[in-house]
Amino acid sequence: MDWEREEAVPEHVFQNFAKANLLLASLPAPLPVVWLKKLGVSDILGVVKVEEWDSLHSLIFGDEMLRSGLHGPPSSLTTGISFGVPPILKFGSQDLQNRYLPDFLLGKKRICIAITEPDAGSDVANIQTMATKTLDGKHYIVNGTKKWITNGMWSSYATMAVRTGGPGPMGLSLLLVPLLNEPGVEMRLIKITGHRTSGTTFITLDDVKVPVENLIGEEGQGMKYIMTNFNHERLSIAIGSTRSARVALSAAFEYCLQREAFGKPLIEQPVVRHRLAKCGAMLEAQWAWIEQFAYQMTKLKKEEADTELGGLTALAKAQAGIVLDECARCAVLLFGGNGFTVTGKGEIAERKYSMANHKKL
C-alpha cells in the first residue's frame, strides 16, 4: 500500500523478481522451455520445472500477485514482459529472438506492448501510427502516438502496432521499436486511477528509425498477431479482477464482523448478510469459470485454445469487471463513511471502488 501511495515501486523489487525467475511466470503457458534452458533457467523458485509449468500454475501465480488487492505494483513488474514478449516468441524471426530475447527473459532490459492510441482503443484496426520504409529498404521510419502504455516509461523497447500498409486491419504490422534514449521518442507519465505505480505512458514518435529486421513476423499480419495475444491478456486481467473482487468482499465481511450498530454487529443484520451472500455467489461462479479456462488450456493444443476459447475469454474478462464492480459497491456500502476515505479502515474498499470502472473497460 505504501508503494501505491508513493506512486513508485522500488527498482530493487523488479531486480529481485528477475533474479528469482518470477517475471517468466507471467508468460503464457507453456513456457518457452528451449530458450529458458539455453539461458540456464530450469525452474521457477526451485519448485516447478519450466517444462512442467502449465496454465494452472499461471492461474495460481496471477491470483497471488493480486492478493493485496492493488493492481499497480504487480502491473509495474510483469505487464511488459507478459504482453510484450509473446508475439516475439510466437512470430519473431530467429535473428530477432537471438538479439533480444535473452535480455527480456532475464530482466536485463524491459519491454512493453504498445497498441492503443489516443483515437484508437478498442478499434484496433483504426491505428494510425505509420511505419514507412526508407528508399534503401533498410529501415522503417515511425511516426505517431501511443497512449495508456503500461510500463512504457521504463522500457527499452516496445512491441508496437504500426501501419505499414493501407487502411483497415490488413495494413497493420508489429514492430519492435526502441524507446529509452532513442532519438525522436518522447515519453511522459500518465497518472490513472488505481494504477499509480504501473508506469502508464504517453509516447510520441517523431521520425524514429527502426531496422527492418525488427519486424515481428510478416507485414500485414499485425491484426492477427494482436488478436492472438489478446487471449492471454484478457485471461490475465480476468484473474486479477476476480481476485480484487474477493479482496473487496473479504474486507467488507471482516468489517461487518467488527462494526456494531443498533447494539449488535452488522453481520447480524439479515440485509447485510444478503448483500454479502449475493456478491459471494457471483464471485464464486466467476472464479469457477476462470478455473475451467485454465483447466481446458492444459488439455487443448495452443492453436485449439486460441480458437475455441478466444470469444469466451473476452466474455470472462468483461464479466470479471462486472463482478468486481458489484463487490466493490457492496464493500463501500457496508463500510459506510469509511468506504469513502483514502486512508484508514476503508482504504481498500475505496481503492477497489475507484478501480471497478477501469477494469470494466
Give per-residue pLDDT as tens, 293-332.
999 999 998 888 888 888 999 999 999 999 999 999 999 9
pLDDT of residue 356: 67
The answer to whether residues 188 and 117 touch, using CB atoms and an 8 Å cutoff, is: no
User: Rounded CA gap, 170 and 352, in Å?
Assistant: 39
What is the dihedral angle through the alpha carbons of 314, 315, 321, 325, rounded to the nearest 10 degrees?
170
The chain-wide mean pLDDT, for the chain, equals: 92
Strand partners, 145: 204
pLDDT of residue 358: 60
Percent of the chain beyond pLDDT 70? 97
Pull the grid cell for residue 298.
492444459
The H or E element that residue 176 is part of is strand 172-178
User: Rounded CA gap, 164 and 18, in Å?
Assistant: 34
The H or E element that residue 208 is part of is strand 201-211
Q: Give the angle 315-322-1 at the CA atoms, nearest 5°.
A: 115
SS3 159: strand
The answer to whether residues 216 and 176 touch, using CB atoms and an 8 Å cutoff, is: yes
pLDDT tens column, 197-232: 888 999 999 999 999 999 999 999 999 999 888 888
What pTM, to 2 d.p., does this model score? 0.91
Within 13 Å, how many C-alpha atoms sit on residue 305's CB side?
21
